[in-house]
Amino acid sequence: MYASTLLVSLLGASTVIAAPTWPAFNWDAAKPDGLNTVSEYFNMLAQKIEVGKLMATAPVCDLSKAQMAVAPTPLDPPSAGLTLKHVAIGRGTQNYTCDLTNATAVPLQVGALATLFNASCVASTYPDLLQLLPKLALQFNLTAQENSRMGPTNLIISGKHFFTNTTTPFFNLDTNQYKIGEAGCAKNNQTDAPADAPKGYMGEKAVPWLKLKTRTGSTGNLQEVYRIETAGGSAPATCHGQPAAFEVQYSAQYWFWEGDSQA
């Protein structure tokens, strides 16, 4: 009875239903566990739908119920007085350069570029499914033609993530669908991803978990941003065999916290 309502709450589907398109599965990423990840997602989703059929009321998208995961070495918690405003899955690349004139050079990170997909309702209702989404996202290519949704989900775009310079990550969460805010940020705290975090296409480790603080000029009362539950994205240990500039695929959860004044 409530299955369709459940799916809308679960997947954050747009009110405009578009003709279905299937994103390109990355077969290289599927080795060894990519197919298992997709299977796990659909099995988990089917279980949620079956449970939903028996519920007297549909789940409510209430971000006050969402609980942000804690790393083995915890990041500093959100500052007092802040409330959770938005949760997104970021899917894109971590970007690096190499000094090819230096035989001992190591890759230097120069930024990142990602599309952000609205996962707020998933975070508030199904935390187990949310935890799987970064690993799932990494199994699918993201192209200009296929980036209107994340993999096989109906999660819709809530913004973009990029760098305005090598030290300033920026989040634009003002789209046709949402007006959440914009924020340039500075790194406040970081910790290594868990040892069992999903690896990238070539076995790359997951990038660290981060706490960011917004810079002056941010809008939407955005104060702090967390990058957690990362998948892939780390550079190789050396520049041997690498080009002058290269990208490493990654995915992560982003949690956006708001407050009345700049922290």
For 66, half-sphere exposure in the C-beta direction (CA atoms, 13 angstrom radius) is 25
| Domain definitions of the chain by residue range | 3-258
The pLDDT, as a whole number, for residue 174 is: 96
The pLDDT, as a whole number, for residue 38 is: 74
Average pLDDT over the chain reads 83
Entry pTM: 0.85
Mean pLDDT of 243-255: 97
Mean pLDDT of 13-33: 42
pLDDT tens digits for range 43-89: 777 776 766 665 555 567 899 999 999 999 999 999 999 999 999 99
The pLDDT, as a whole number, for residue 259 is: 95
pLDDT at 254 over 80: yes
- Among candidate residues 117, 121, 120, 124, the one with its CA nearest the CA of residue 156: 117
Least confident of 49-63, 124-138, 166-180, 188-202: 49-63
The pLDDT, as a whole number, for residue 150 is: 75
pLDDT tens digits for range 156-180: 999 999 999 999 999 999 998 899 9
